[in-house]
Each structure stands twice: as structure tokens, then as C-alpha cells.
Chains A and B, each alone.
Chain A
Amino acid sequence: MDLSIFGYDFMMRALIGALIIGVAAPSVGVFLVQKRMALIGDGIGHVALTGVAVGFLMGTSPVWTAVVVTIVGAVAIELIRERGKASGDVALALLFYGGIAGGVVLIGMSAGKSNATLMSYLFGSLVTTSAEDLRTIAILGALVTVLMVVLRPWLFAVSQDEEYAKVSGVPVRFLNMLLAVTTAVTVTVAMRAVGLLLISALLVVPVATMQQFARGFTVTMFGAMGLGVVAAGSGVVVAGVGDLPPGAMIVLMALGLFVLVAVVTAVVKLARRTLLPTRPATVAATAPEPLDCHLDKAA
């Protein structure tokens, strides 16, 4: 394998950026999955497109306008969720379509921006990460991860049983808003790496992978962060060596890990069932029976 490409600064920046996003995204995603809002990342990604377009239009950095617009969108979604429970779904959908349509129209209005730039936000462009971009990714990624890890017991309580959290004096509203804002920040930061269309994969897939076999929340959370790092690191390396798009490669790696774990857990379960019977008494009593049945049939 020819790793010489990682001698270039831009490749190292891509790798470091991806690793930071790989650890930060699942740390937020685990709470979204717990709240059964796994697809919220996708929705906020749609809204981010409008943010990027606003940046193009105003000639400022699209990342910062995207941060602002997604935070507004995420808070709006949270307010809707908090109020009318039944209409939340529909309101969410409206916001998503509004985000995409608004983004496309605004980009059409901003002259001189090629489709290539838009594509880099839709599908990510890790290799164009500048030193300044990397600093932004590092600061925001670290902030998100530290907040999620430090506030884990409280965010867990709010996501697991909101009513109970209220009568425990947990600041439910504040934490829900914090999670919404953190999701927005994570989405915009990760949009550099994997693109708006794939961001939800990094938030959710490592968590789903851990869910297949983990027994507790803490294990799921830290395991998913580890898997995120593995997927991001291996994705960038494979993409660098094979000259492939890194964003999509990271997502493929995450999905590959999911499938691998699915197969391994299935095999382990099967092995357990056949090799170490969980109910020795019943198995012992019934074990000879199938044999008898076969004999009966044969006779």
C-alpha cells in the first residue's frame, strides 16, 4: 500500500479533520438515537444547505452562515417537538423541504458560484481543508465531544425519560436546546468531511453498530465514538491510497463495520445457542428427542 500521499500537508489535514469528526458525531448521535430522532441530522443537513447558500450570497464563509442557520432550524424543530407532539413530524418535513428549496434558489441567485462548490458541500471535500478550517473543526469538535461526555448522565436522563428528568430537577429544556444546538454545530462541521447528504450516517451508523450487541448506554456511546474514529481514519486512508472520494469512503467504512458486527454477533449467538445451552435443564431433557423423531420418520 502506497501511503506516500500522506506526506502532503493537505492529506494530513484531511485525516486529522476526519478523525475529530469521527469521534464527535457519534457522541451527539447516541442521544438522537435514544430520543428516536435519528433522522434529525439529515433534516438539519437540508437546512444547512440554505445556510451555505446564504454564505455564497453574502460573500462570507459558508460554514459560519450554515452554523447560524442550522442552529435557528434546530431550535425551531425542538420548539415544535416540545409543543405539539403529533404535528412535529409534518413540521419537520416542511422544514427539510424548505431548507433544500431555499438553498437551491439562493444559490441560483448568487452569481459566479460554480456547481463544483455546491457539490463540495453536498458530498464533502476533505482534501481542500485549509489550516484555518482544521482549527475550526478542532475547536468545535472538541467542544461538542467534551460537552456530550461531561453531561452524559443528564442528557441520558432527558433522552430516556423526560418526565422523570423533570421531577429530578434536571434542566430539561436547557439540555434539549443544548442538544439541538450541538447537533446543528456537528452537522455543519461534518459537512466539510462527508457532505450534507451523508452527515446523518456518521451520527447514526456507529451507534446502530454498537446497539447490536452492547448492553448499556455508556458502552454504546464510547464504543460508537471509537467506531467513528476507525471509520473516519480508515476511510480517509483508503480514499487517499485509491484516489477515491473520502467522504463517501468514510460512510462506506462505517456501514462495513455495521455489517461486520451484524455477522459476528449472529455467528456468536448461533455458537452460544449450539455450544453452551442457556437452559441446561430443558435442553438436557429435550436433547434426545429430535434424534428419536428422525428415527421415527425413518422407520
Chain B
Amino acid sequence: MAENDVPPVAVTHGVVHYGDRAVLHGVDLRVETGQAVALLGANGSGKSTLIKSSLGLVRLTGGEAALFGTPVPRFRAWHRVGYVPQRLGAGSGVPATVREVVSAGRLSRRVLGLPARKRDRLIVERALEAVGLADRAKDPVTSLSGGQQQRTLIARALAAEPELLVLDEPTAGVDAASQEALAAVLSDRVADGATVLLVAHELGPLEPLIDRAVVLSHGRIVHDGPVPEPAGVHAEPGHVHVHPHAKEEERLWT
């Protein structure tokens, strides 16, 4: 792992408190350029918190976080980063179409106040196609199923053409076929030299893509290395798991 260039993600001795309660206790996470790292761990182990603090969305109460070698508070090159949150932002009293939400992902490459260029629109369309939502582009996001909303968020991250993709449970509630599609999209990006950091409970079709797994438990890293075998000591309890939402979503919205 002796890359010459700076690591896209680096959290050193990261500590996070919510109120008085420590949720991360001095976590070190370094993701090298071109790596695909999976962050595993039980519910509440601090995966989302670690990811958010690496992006500056949660304030570190100790340690520091850097993106591409720049401390996060001073980081400005946000077009290099694509983030897929665990769920769609709550705030929206006004309807928004899938395309409108995905277009928001392009803003990191646009100049404030200037209209979108042809290329901006093209990349947005490509991102929609990549997640198989091109035919739903004009529909309100709230009319999509949970899995389709998840795909909308992935498309939004792709619209920035990022070098680093940070995905918080991109496969949650997504059926097997869409997981395969996501795996294909991600391995394309990795083949292009992109770096991937993703949270998952089960890797499924993503497994061949992953170079390294980091397992969190109660806010501490308890494993950092090859993907733990399902039968091994670090077996994920939910590893063999039927997808309850599989195939069901298409039926609901036609």
C-alpha cells in the first residue's frame, strides 16, 4: 500500500461524541487511491458516523480528517467526491423529479449562477441511465420505491464524475438485479481509477470488487484486511440473508 500520492480518505484518531456519549473512539481509516474498501459492522457500530465525519458532515471531537490530503475544513474540491447518504433527505414539501434530484449532484462542477452546459445535462442523463432510471426521470422521487430512491441517490453522486465515491449502504433495499447493476457501475468507476468506500451489511454481488474490509464494533475498528469469510470468526450475522424487497418494488409503481 505504498502509493506515492495522498490518500483520498484519511481519518486519524477520529473521535466523535453525540452529546456526552462517545460514538467513535479514536478510529484510524486510510483509503488509498484506486482501492475499494467495505466498511462493515452491526447497526449502531458507527459506520455512518465515521463516513460522515470523513466528509466533514459530523464534527470530530478529536483527531482529524483529510480528503485528498487537505484537512476537511479547508477542502474545496468537492467535485472529486460523490456521496450517497443512507437515505433521501427528509426536507421536501415540494415535489421534485428524479432528474432534478440527480442534477443537484452536478452542482459541484457548476459555477454559481451560471446555467447548466450541454455537458452537464449529458452527464446527468448518463448517470440516470447507469442506474436504470432514465425512463423515470420526469417522475416525482416520492413516487419511487425505496430501492429506486436509493438508485436516484447513486445517480446523483455519479453526476459529479467523482474520483472518490463514498456510499452509505447503497444496496439496502435494492433487489438482486439492481445490486448486480450497481456492482457493474462501481467496477467501471474503479477501472477508471476511482476510489470507493462503501458501507454494507452484506456485500453480495459487490464482493469481487472489494479489496479490503474494515469492521467496526462499538466505535472501534476490530478488523482491517481481507473480506472476512462468512464462516470465519468475523462472520456477519446477516450474511446469508434473503432480500425481502427483491422484485417486489416494480409491481407497486407502473
A residues with CB within 8 A of B = 30, 33-36, 38, 150-151, 153-154, 156-157, 159-171, 207, 211, 214-218, 220, 278-279
Q: Is the CB of A220 within 8 A of B57?
A: no
Q: Is the CB of A216 within 8 A of B96?
A: yes
**Known A171-B112, A279-B254; contact A156-B100, beta-carbon cutoff 8 A:** yes
- Specify the main secondary structure of chain A where it touches its partner: helix
Chain A: minimal CB distance from B137 (Å): 10
> Which of B91, B97, B103 has the most chain A CB within a 10 Å cutoff?
B91
**Minimum CB distance partner of A166 in chain B:** B57
B103, B138, B156: the one contacting A215 at CB < 8 Å is B138
> Which of B83, B94, B112, B156 has the most chain A CB within a 10 Å cutoff?
B94
Contact partners of A163 in chain B: CB under 8 A: 52, 57, 85, 89
Q: Given known contacts A154-B107, A220-B95, what 12 new A-B pairs fall within 8 Å (CB)?
A: A30-B94, A34-B92, A154-B112, A160-B101, A161-B85, A163-B89, A167-B55, A168-B78, A169-B77, A211-B93, A215-B140, A216-B96
Q: Is the CB of A167 within 8 A of B96?
A: no
CB<8 Å pairs between A and B, sample of 24: A33-B93, A34-B93, A34-B94, A36-B91, A153-B103, A153-B104, A157-B104, A159-B91, A161-B88, A161-B89, A161-B104, A162-B91, A163-B89, A164-B105, A164-B156, A165-B107, A166-B57, A167-B56, A167-B81, A168-B107, A169-B107, A170-B107, A211-B94, A220-B95
Contact partners of B103 in chain A: CB under 8 A: 153
A36, A169, A216: the one contacting B79 at CB < 8 Å is A169
B residues with CB within 8 A of A = 52, 55-57, 76-79, 81, 83, 85, 88-89, 91-97, 99-101, 103-105, 107-108, 110, 112-113, 116, 138-140, 156, 160, 254
Contact partners of A150 in chain B: CB under 8 A: 113
Contact partners of B112 in chain A: CB under 8 A: 151, 154, 171
Contact partners of A35 in chain B: CB under 8 A: 91, 93
**Known A168-B78, A168-B160, A169-B108; contact A217-B91, beta-carbon cutoff 8 A:** no
**Minimum CB distance partner of B105 in chain A:** A168
Contact partners of B88 in chain A: CB under 8 A: 161
Q: Is the CB of B91 within 8 A of A161?
A: yes
Contact partners of A211 in chain B: CB under 8 A: 93-95
Q: How far is the CA of A136 from the CA of B112 in the complex (A)?
A: 27
Q: How far is the CA of A171 from the CA of B254 in the complex (A)?
A: 38
Q: Is the CB of B55 within 8 A of A215?
A: no
Q: Is the CB of A169 within 8 A of B76?
A: yes
**Minimum CB distance partner of B251 in chain A:** A279
**Minimum CB distance partner of B96 in chain A:** A217
Chain B: minimal CB distance from A207 (Å): 7
Closest 9 pairs (CB-CB, A-B): A161-B89, A169-B78, A216-B97, A157-B104, A168-B108, A34-B94, A217-B96, A167-B83, A169-B108
